[in-house]
Structure 1
């Protein structure tokens, strides 16, 4: 702020200088001197003419005429002296002008310059670290609505001077999503995506912002981004949530149910979201004219030996086979390793063969394998477990404690 006020003083002094400079300049106009010279020349010429007229006998009172001529020349001198005596000093104009300029400048700024807003803006920028800590939950007190707006203002200011900060744009976009500000969220996420087009978090953020838009082209771009994200090896649960929401909004209730069931597979039953997903599935089933719980789903609870969990990069593969133990699965699903024990749900959406569904089996076997190299074709060194033969509708429990 000190620099700002110094700049206003400099500009005011410049304005005063523009006023003072012309007034202090000496008048280079020689009108008075030229007039005196002209009067003298006229006087001399007239004297010559009178002399010639006298020599020719045209005048009889040469002396009176010369006296009159001298008097007319002298009459001009007091007038010039009076003008000099009545001329104002330049400072008599400069001082009031400078005072008026200074007073008027600062009075107009006080009225129309929004100085209070500028002061608040600088204060908000100084509070950015503290606001960021509150946002991240480092303090017990959450952000108020006013503090949220201040944080957005401070972050936009920082990004104005550092526009290549993709993380900053991502954070600004998430704040826009929190505030339901579609324009802010979309613009910020697009900027972040331009800087880092291969970042999955930014892709997800942009998809979230575009899903809030009422424009069909934006929603189509969001689906394309989610389609790309769902093909990744590790899929964020929010990807399925957005896909389910979009499907439900488009009244594609079967797709919504499928995505919500996938989300349930990624959550333990004790997670609060699990029950919420159950209600969402029931709602979609009701919209389809269905009732009760779907009969094509199987709940599988899996425990694992500690020796099987030594590779954090391994993945869990769960498959359903007919009761005779056929190696070809009827349904299968792949999950991140995660923590154990855990509960998963597999259903007809996980079917592997055309024309054969999990719900068509009266009895089956569930197998679970911890795949260490990411190649389902190789099993050397992998840990696995297998359930007993289970009837349709019964829950399944198994332990991974064997190694190939």
Structure 2
């Protein structure tokens, strides 16, 4: 692109010089004259004067008319007389042409330096050339961290690539993250939207978009961020980044119960040696106190009151020979749309199918996370090889569709899936 610019600029300069220099180097046609040409014209002039005098003498011409005719003859003679010598100005014209050329070139150079974008053009070319190296450093975290100028250069290179080569999901995603680091939230949000338009289920783009919206901080942005986080958790229920943002969004909204559940889930997966463990532990204790205070103000008058559902569990015929010996039965309820942590859990080491299990608010694992906080739920039954709730290959599972816990107090569940 730079080469094309230089070619066009040189062509325009040459074209301009032709207009300036050509008049001074153009050769003039030499005027050829006969040595006797002027003498003949003078002789004709004198003969005409004699004729005019004769006309005056004979009365054919008045004195005034004679004088006028003489003047006209003199003017005609002056116009017809040819130059005796053609002056040569070739040496003077070359100097003028050279001077004009130097002036034109100097003017163009000064004008471009004052008004042109040579530095920007050079930076743009450098951004294109350095795009692979800067991209590796940004994505693979190789070498020194990118400086602010290098991030701007990388953003320029990515925009150029997208303009020349068309949409690319990874390029849009990387551009959005760079603009986020440069605190250009509008450009970052637009970039993530472009990536999501190409792949609506891109977890990386959804998480990044939620981060931008949370940084914007408005109520509308927080609502959009919550939707993005919810979509991520549907795709990847154990995504730590999404759970962290869910906890923060709930905390900002004053939803202590949801925030506590998310923070406890994160804390349960974190090593005690992690530098953030102590901080999260303190946050969990803070939220427990808030939830307890909130729960006391809304505590029901009777412990027997509250939502519950009876679950009739059966085993499909195809899986009867797959039932593990000494397996543990977990029956738990989850919000149909919401956090992945269970609202109520029942664990049975001794059991036999078919079986009826009742889940109620008293079976909640976490304070503030029970049937009382969610209207639509679904129930899952899992036969585990051990006493751990984590999913493992070879386990059996079945689940119901979502239902309204206020209107349904009994559901049928068939364990029909081999994990």
TM class by shorter chain equals 0.5 to 0.7
1:134 and 1:256 map into 2 onto residues whose CA distance is: 35
CA distance in 2, matches of 1:253, 1:247: 7
Structure 1 residues 213, 51: CA separation in 2 closer, same or farther (over 3 Å shift)?
Answer: farther
Shift of 1:371: 5.8
Shift of 1:21: 6.3
8 Å contact from structure 1 (residues 166, 191) kept in 2: yes
Q: Partners in 1 of 2:168 and 2:237 — Cα distance?
A: 25
2:346 to 296, 302, 321: 321
- RMSD of aligned Cα (Å): 4.8
Partner of 1:212: 215
Q: Which position in structure 2 is the counterpart of 1:347?
A: 366
Aligned-pair CA distance for 1:91: 5.9
Question: Aligned runs of 1:114-153 on 2, under 5 Å?
Answer: 114-137=117-140, 139-153=142-156
CA contact (8 A) 1:53 1:59 kept: yes
**Normalized against structure 2, the TM-score is what?**
0.60
Contact 1:331 1:350 in 2 (8 A): no
Is the 8 Å Cα contact of residues 330 and 346 (structure 2) preserved in structure 1?
no
1:33-44 alignment, distance < 5 Å: none
Number of the residue aligned with 1:378: 415
After TM superposition, the score normalised by the length of structure 1 is: 0.62
Alpha carbons of structure 1 residues 353 and 58: separation in structure 2 relative to 1, 3 Å: closer
SS of residue in 2 equivalent to 1:321: strand
Unaligned runs of 5+ in 2: 29-44, 295-328, 333-344, 375-385, 400-413
Q: How many residue pairs get matched? A: 324
Residues in 2 aligned to 1:354 and 1:285: alpha-carbon distance in whole angstroms: 16
| Correspondences of 1:363-374 after superposition (within 5 Å) | 368=389, 370=392, 372=394
SS, match of residue 216 in structure 2 = coil
Aligned-pair distance for 1:215? Answer: 4.2
Q: Give the one of 236, 246, 259 matched to 2:249.
A: 246
Supply the distance in 1 between the matched residues of 2:237 and 2:171 (Cα, whole angstroms): 24
**Distance in 2 between the 1:283 and 1:55 partners?**
139
Contact 2:189 2:212 in 1 (8 A): yes
Deviations 1:262-299 (A, max 9, x none): 323444555444444222223434566869xxxxxxxx
Q: Indicate if the aligned counterparts of 1:256 and 1:284 stay in contact, CA closer than 8 A.
A: yes
Provide the rounded CA distance (Å) in 2 between the counterparts of 1:228 and 1:64.
Answer: 111
What's the offset of the Cα at 1:169? Answer: 0.6
CA contact (8 A) 1:253 1:284 kept: yes
Q: Distance in 2 between matches of 1:183 and 1:14?
A: 45
Partner SS, residue 205 of structure 2: helix
Structure 1 residues 283 and 148, CA gap change in structure 2 (3 angstroms) = farther
Q: 1:56 offset after TM fit, Å?
A: 4.0
CA distance 1:196–1:82, shift in 2 (3 Å) = farther
State the match for 2:104 in structure 1. Answer: 101
Structure 1 match to 2:281 = 278
CA distance in structure 1 between the partners assigned to 2:4 and 2:98 by the alignment: 27
Match of 2:200, SS state, is coil
